[in-house]
Structure 1
Amino acid sequence: MLKHRKTLIVIDDLDDQDVLDAIAGQTQWFGNGSRIIVVTKNKHLLRAHGIQNIYEVCLPSYDLALEMFCRSAFRENSPPNGFFELASQVVSCAGNLPLGLNVLGASLRGQDKEYWMDMLPRIRNGLEGKIEKTLRVGYEELNSKKDEAIFRHVACLFNGEKVDDIKMLLADSNLDVNIGLKNLVDKSLIHQRHHTVEMHSLLQELGKEIVRAQSADPGEREFLMDSKDICVVLGDNTGTKKVLGIALNLDEIDELDIHESAFKAMKNLLFLKISSKEWYMKREWYLPDRFDYFPPKLRLLSWDNYPGTLLPTNFRPKNLVKIQMRESKLEKLWDGALSLTTLKNMDLRGSKSLKEIPDLSKATSLENLNLSHCSSLVELPSSIQYLNKLKELDMSFCDS
C-alpha cells in the first residue's frame, strides 16, 4: 500500500529489533523520497538493521537548558524576578538533561521562593522519583550482571577516567570490560570522548543510589563514595570483605581520622582512591603510629597528600596496577625488590620528602613513572634502565 507513496514514519523510543523489522524491514516497502526516523537509546538496534545515518542528540546548551526548565516551571522562557539564581542552580543539578529539566520544573511550578530554597538540598543530594524510575529502565535493560557491575564501577569510581585506565584496572575482573563498556555506550549510559569515559551526573547518581540500597550499613556495600560514610567506616573500623572500592573526595571534609586497622577487614578491596582537586595544597592529617595494613588485592592505590613517611612494611603490592601518591610525605615506599609484574603507572609527583624509590627490577610492565617536583630525590635505582616497556619518565624540577 505504501510502496508507491512518499512516506514519513517516526518510530519513537525503540527498544525491540522485531518492531523495527516489522514496520520498516526493507526500503523497497516505501516509495521514493520516503523517510524513516528511528529514536532509540540503543545504537546496536540501528546498526543491526543496517542504518548508517546515525545522529547523536547532544545535551542542550546552558541557555537552552535554562529556557526549557523555565517553560516547565514558569510557563515562560526566562525566570521571573528573584528566581534567576535558584533556577540556574536547579538546571545545574539536572545536568542540562531534558528529562530532569522537565520533571524538576513541573515539581516546582507554582511554589514560592522559600519552597524552592528548602527543596534545593534535596534536589542536590538525590534523584526525584520520576527521574529515577525513568533512568533505571536503561540500567535494568542491560540484561547482564557484568554490564550492570561495570555501570556501578563507573558511577562510583571511574567517571571521568581514561578508557585505557579503566580497562587496565578491570582487566582481571572477569567482567568482560571491553564488551561491557561498548554495551554501555550503545545504550547511551556512558559516552567516550577524547579517550575518556563520561557518565551524566543523573545517571551517576542513579548508580550511587543502587549501591546505597545494597545495605543500610555502608561497610556492607561494594563501593563507598559518600564522604560521611567513608569517614565513619575508616574511623570506626566497620568495613567488611564486601567493599571493593573506596572513592573519597578530600575537598568535602575538614579532617580524616583513620583507625589503625581500618583496612584489615576489607580483604577484597581492589580500588582505594583518596583524591582532591587541590591535591597540591598542604594538609595536616595523620595516620596512627600502628597503622600497618593495606589489602594485598589492591589494584589501585591513589592517595593524594598521603601523611605517612613509609607505606605499611607488610604491604605486598603484587596486584598493583597503578599507584598515585601526589604531594605525599613519603620518604620511601618499601624496601627490597618486590613482585610488581602488574604495575603500569607510578605517579609520585610533588612528594618533596621522597629520598629514594625502590628497586623496580620486577616492575616489568611499568609504562609511566612521574617523579616531578620530588626535590629530595637523590638518585634512581639502576634497575630503571632495564624497564623495556617504560614510555614516560618525568623528573622535571627534581633539584637534587
Structure 2
Amino acid sequence: MSSRRKVLLILDDVYKQDQLEALAGKHNWFGNGSRIIITTRDEHLLRAHKVDHVYPIRLLIDDEAVQLFKRHTYNEEDPIEDYETLSLRVISYASGLPLALKVIGSFLCDKNKNQWISALDNPDDAMEIFEACAGYNPEIEIKVLRQKALITIVKKEWGGNKFDMHDLVQEMGHYIVRGEHPKNPRKHSRVWKDEEIEAMCFDLATMENYETEALKYFSYYDLDNNYISSRICEIMSSMKKLRWIDVTFGDDNGDGRPTNFSDSFHPKELCFLKLRSGKQKKLWDGYKHLPHLKVLHLEGMNFSISQLTCLKVLNLSHCKNLIELPDPPSSLVFLNARHWIPLTTNIVNGGERLLQSMLEGDAIKNRSMILIPPGFKIPMGFTPPLLKVRRYTLQLPENWQDYFSGFLMCVVLNDAIISRDDFKIIVKQALSFEDDLVWEESDGKWYTLVWYVSFDLLRDTARWNQTYKALSFEITKGECSGFGVRLVAKKNRSGLMETSTTNSYDYTPLFKIEYDKASDAIMISSLFDYY
C-alpha cells in the first residue's frame, strides 16, 4: 500500500527483531524520499536488520542537562531555596543520562531543601531512584509505573484511593508470576487464587517453601472452612520468604483445631500481616523474631499479642474479644483500636498511659503520630480541657519553637470517619479569641482521635510563621463534640532535650500537609484510612 508514498515512520523503543520485520521489513515497502527512524536500547537489533545508518545517542552536555532537569523539577510559584547549587549536584551525578535526570527530577520536584540534601548525601538512595524497578522503594516504583501509564490511582466510592490498571496489564502480571509453573502455586512468588490455596491446604504434604513472598486469601463459608482455616496457618508457616500476608478466615471456624502459626513460622522478611475474622487465642507460641514487620492489622481476633520491636502500624479494629494489649513497642506511631474493644481491656483503661508511651517512643522521631483509642479517657484527662468547638485557639508562649516539638490535637468525633478524606484540619494565625463551653464526657458520641504533628512537618509550608502569638486550629471536614490542642515539650523520657533528626531513622509518613488557597491556611489530613 505504501510502496509509492513518501512517508515518515518513527518506531520508538524497539526491543524485538520481529517488530522491525513486521513494520519496516524492506526498503521497497516505502516510496522514494521516505525516512524511517528507529530508536532502541539494543544496537544489535539495528545491525541484524541491516539499517542504513546507526547513530549512537550522545550524552547531554551540561547546558542541555540543566534545561531537562529544570523542566521536571523547578516550580516558579514555590522555588526551592538554593535550587541552582543543589541542581548542579544532581546533574553532576547523572553524568548526562536523560533518563536519570527525568526520574530523579520527578522524585525531587515536590521535596523541600532538607529532603533534597538528604537524598543527595546518600548516593545509594539516588541509585535506587534510577534503578527503581529493581528495588523495593514503593514511592519511586509507583511514580515510575504511573509515568509509564501502567497503573493509575483512582478514588474509591466510599473514600480513599486504589490502584487501577488495564485488564491486559493485569493479565501480563499474572502470567509473569505464574511463569514456567502455571499449575504449581508453590513455585509462584505471589499466591492469590483461592482455589489454588485451598488445593494446597488439602494436599497433606507440607514442604518448606522458599518461593512465595505474598499471599492473599478470603475464606468462604462452606463445610470445609474449619479445616482450611487451620491448614492455611500451617501452609503459611512453611513459607520462609513471606513478606506480605492478607487472610480473611471464615466466621465459622473454631471446632477445636489449632489455627495459630506453628513453631516453624519464621518469615524474617515479613513486613505486612493482616488477619480478619479468626477466633485464634494467640498468633503463635513464644517469641518470634520479625525484624521487618511494620504493619499489623488484626480484625475480629481473640488473643493477646506479643511485643514486636519494629512495629510501626497496629490496627486492632473490630477486635471484640481482645484479652490484653501489652505495652506497645516504642516504634509504634499508628494505633487504631476504635471499634468494640471490651471495656475491661487495658487499652481502654490505660489510654493516657498509652498516649504517653507513644509520645516517649518514636512519635517524636517520626515527627507524627495517630492514635484512635476506644472510650473517652484521653479527652477527659486532656489539658487544657477540650471545648465544644470546631475551631480551637491556642495561645503560644514566648520562644515556643525552642521549647516544644509539635502540636497534640485531640478530637471527640460525632460521626464515624472511614477514609483519610473524611477528616481535615486547617491551621493559621489566630486574630481573635472567644470563650467557649468545656466539653464533658456526656457529650461524647462516637470515639476519640489523637494526632501529633511536629513543627518540622509544617516549616516548609506557606503561611508557617514561628513568630505567631496564637494559632487557630479548625476542623473543616468531620463532625465533633469536643476539640483541644496543646504543645508537646521537647523532652524524652530521660528529661534531656529531644532532637528531631531523621537522617538514620526509618520515617513513616502519616500526614499530608499542604497550603490551602481557599482558606489561606495550612491543611492537614491523614495518609492512612481509619477502617
TM-score w.r.t. length of structure 1: 0.50
Larger Rg: 2
* Larger RCO (CA under 8 A, 6+ residues apart): 2
Question: Hey, which of these two has a bigger chunk of strand by percent?
Answer: 2
Scaled by the length of structure 2, the TM-score of the pair is 0.38
